[in-house]
Chain A
Amino acid sequence: MARALGDDGRVSIGSLELEHPVLNGSGTFDAIAALRTFGDELRRRFPFAGFVSKTITVSPRGGNPPPRLWETPAGLINSIGLPNKGLRGFLQHDLPELATLPVPLIVSVAGFSYEEFRHLVAEVAERPQVAAIELNVSCPNVKSGCVMGSEPDETGALMEVVRSLTSKPLIVKLTPNVSDVAAVAEAAERGGCDAVSLINTLRAVAIDPDTGSPWLGAGQGGLSGPAVRAVALAMTLDVAARVRVPVIGMGGIERGQDALDFFAAGASCVAVGTESFRDPAAGTRIRDEMVALLAKRGFESAQSDFAKVSEPTKK
């Protein structure tokens, strides 16, 4: 597999240059709300090497009816429903503010048809403030009724629609709710994506103990947190073995060792999601812990270290 990670710990994904290999998972950190809460200290100590926006859609969305959260053993089920201001609102209100962050901006988009994806990618990619685009393919295609990231053919067809629209890096965010995630990753790669990221949340349900009915307002949601880490690692291992593009691994990363496990499984970059809910500065802490662990093992440069760490997994 090709490694996007340099000796100095920098990561390249197409034209996207990251100073270190820790991102946020889309939808797990609202930088605008965080700036209101933590002020300029957030800019000075920004925990991620790049900022991945919450997913935007063509039309504004209010999101799912509450309740939207359920705590599980070492995890969280959420059913948020992609609330966002819509493409127009995002470009007008959020993009100028996100452009003030000290790191490259990766905008996550989701369409409910190929046409919507085409519109989103074309409009977002032409903005100079946008360094890369992540395609959230966990939404159903209203025409086929099929989740676009659930079948290699659907994902391949999507890439055919969007790839020619921009030379900026396109990252496909893979859903784990499929029978063969690596086959979907291969289709994304064949279609010209610059990287794949995984995993999105695992489909999950919580039952209200008082009523015996589903707890979440939308009925079902997605599971994240340490509860999914072992599953995410297995999928990262599968995908990294079958594609050459960089893999951004995520799923329950809580400590530096967890992140190293994902590098060992073949990831070139990791993302922190639910852990940021518990500790807003988790991205920085996890990176510091990783560096300390590698130093303790006598490794000096990031690439050789991660390569060595990955040795046992290579067949």
Chain B
Amino acid sequence: MNKPSLQPGSGGRFVRLAETARAAVHLSIDGAPVTALEGDTLLVALLTHGRRVRSSEFGDGTRAGFCLMGACQDCWVWDEAGHRLRACSTAVVDGMRVRTTPPASLWPVTPEVAARERGEVFR
């Protein structure tokens, strides 16, 4: 079982300081397997493994959430069916499959989604 590293610089933005004895929960983020802990929010699962949640639709770079209390809506991600999830207030569930861009079948297709579908990096 992979335990998330407690050390900074291991690729994650958030650093776990305590409560690391919780049971592991397995999910996938953009198709990659990720191990989180029971009681984690989706945002913590994302940011203990990576440094971003999503790219801004307005071309000013990556975003990683802002308020963590459901007020700013900066941390929207999607499930495979295209349902929007607010990562800071969604608890991880074993087997969850999360994507950080909406499925392109959703309307409207925003520029960063179109770029991703073309295999390009959106700037």
A is bound by B: no
B binding-site residues for A, Cβ under 8 Å? none
A binding-site residues for B, Cβ under 8 Å? none
